[in-house]
Amino acid sequence: MESASRSCFADFCVQVQEHRSRNEESLRALAEYGYGCVALNTDITLAKKVQIQPAKDLAKVVETIPSTPRKCPLTVLQRLTVVIDDISLLHALSSPAMNTYDIVAVRPTNEKAMQQACSTLSVDLISLDLTQRLPFNLRPPQVKTAIERGVFFEICYSPALRDATARRNTLANALELVKVAKGKNIIVTSKAEKVFDLRAPADVVTLCHLFGVSDDKCKATTTTNCRALLLHAEMRRNTARG
């Protein structure tokens, strides 16, 4: 965690792939771009018969971790994103398996789930599906509550690069999110599934302008905000351990 906090640029959402070679390809590309910290993400949807599994041994996900141009190892974290449709299943988030992940995110799909995510859930990140029309309004009081609790919001760029409709929706939703959050506690990630989905930090800064992030906060979406998120995650895990 310490080495991750010192890194310059971070991408906290690269979709984990079944084959280690594909994960390694993405990590090599990110290292060459100058990223110092990457989170490999696993998605799960809460359901009655679905149990949250602990994070896999990193060696089973990626065999070799590449070095950055500065000749220091790339820090690789593991992230879990939980899709929440039914708030009656939120008790599953108290599973000890949650604390085996470096970052825990939730993706609420309705107003009640969003309210819980902002006000009470012990998570680090709220990741909305910005590629579609949001099924609820972003309410400033809710977003403010989340920010005051140290929770961050995510904008993923690669889905918007694949499809014109997804691009329009992502731009509109990102602009609204940044406006409601007043530019605070925003991180920008790739949500990449393959190497061609990835972009260099300078390109991400350009995308941030399109998302409505002010000039003075663009770089923070992949640097200082990510470090602050990791500190929040570390405190969450320490609290859970008692």
Quote the pLDDT of residue 216: 93
Q: What's the rounded Cα separation, in Å, for the pair 240 and 236? A: 6
125: number of CA atoms within 13 Å, CB side?
Answer: 33
Quote the pLDDT of residue 95: 93
Quote the pLDDT of residue 76: 96
- Least Cα distance to 139 among 131, 150, 128 occurs for 128
- Least Cα distance to 184 among 158, 138, 146, 157 occurs for 146
Q: Tens of pLDDT along 20-74?
A: 999 999 999 999 999 999 999 999 999 988 899 999 998 889 888 887 776 667 8
Quote the pLDDT of residue 2: 43
Q: Which two tokens stand for residue 241?
A: 């351990």
- DSSP secondary structure, 145-193, as one string: HHHHTT-EEEEE-HHHHH-HHHHHHHHHHHHHHHHHHTT-SEEEE--BS
Quote the pLDDT of residue 70: 66
What is this structure's pTM? 0.94
Quote the pLDDT of residue 65: 83
What does DSSP say about strands 125-126 and 75-84: parallel, antiparallel, or unpaired?
A: unpaired
Quote the pLDDT of residue 7: 46
Quote the pLDDT of residue 60: 87
Task: Enumerate residue ranges in the chain where pLDDT < 70.
Answer: 1-7, 70-72, 241-242
Quote the pLDDT of residue 49: 84
